Homo-oligomer: A and B are copies of this chain.
Amino acid sequence: MLKPDVIHLHNMNTTVIPDALKVACSNCNLRELCMPVGFNQDDMNKLDEVVATRRRVKQGSLLFSNGDPFSSLYAIRTGFFKTSVSAEDGREQVTGFQMAGEIIGLDGIVSEHHSCNAVALEDSDVCVMPFAKVEDLSREFPVLQRHVHKIMSREIVRENSVMMLLGNMRAEERLAAFLLNLVQRLHARGFSQSELVLRMTREEIGSYLGMKLETVSRTFSKFSEEGIIEVKQRYVRIITPDALKKIFNPQTCS
């Protein structure tokens, strides 16, 4: 009953969700996160067309990968992803971690092929938004058009600050910034602003922050010894947020 005619895409870990299970944007509780505001009900109903299907992605499996033809953007409904690029010699760079309400796949627009990999770090559920449809509706609804532009601009600005992290900051500053960013985003989604469970390994954190997994671990331990955080494997509790902010930004936080 729950899986009547599930169509298999790409691999066994990614399945299309049948119509009966589809949830419209108009009453999705993530709406304010991934959809523009200022629509009346009629508009919203038309906008629901953007989301053609939903797709489940099992932990550890790929939503898309480098070289895949680009067709859609993906809005994360539930779950957690990492995106990464890889050099020809196999070195991998994590370019971001994405959670519910965030959009992935923008990298594919320019060349019609994805240039990065998106891996689910936990069982996830995404809304598939065919980009052709996004563009069609963007022409009809200026507020959607503006929304799409803002999402792309936000990604550019985010990457600018990652460049600042990677180019100018030391290990402690990077990890402090990383933790603060993560809890801030989780808090915006209704989670605690002091506790979190990391969905990624030390190695993935290190790849994102441009440091080795051992250095990530050591820096966690250092913060822990200083009483700034409590760490137990993937679980992290931020005891003194101000201390973290001070490490991240020595200037402002007194």
Contacts and interface: CB of A to CB of B under 8 A. Distances in A.
A146 B152 CA distance: 13
B135 A168 contact: no
A115 B155 CA distance: 12
Interface stretch (A39-47, A105-113, A120-128, A233-241): A105-113
Contact of A160 (B140, B159, B167): B159
Contact of A110 (B91, B110, B153, B210): B153
Total identical chains: 2
Contact of A135 (B85, B90, B115, B142): B142
A250 interface: yes
Given A90-B251, A135-B145, A138-B139, A164 B85 contact: yes
A163 B251 contact: no
B142 A93 contact: no
Contacts of A145: 135, 138-139
The 8 lowest CB-CB distance pairs between A and B, nearest first, are A109-B153, A167-B210, A89-B251, A166-B166, A159-B159, A110-B153, A152-B152, A93-B164
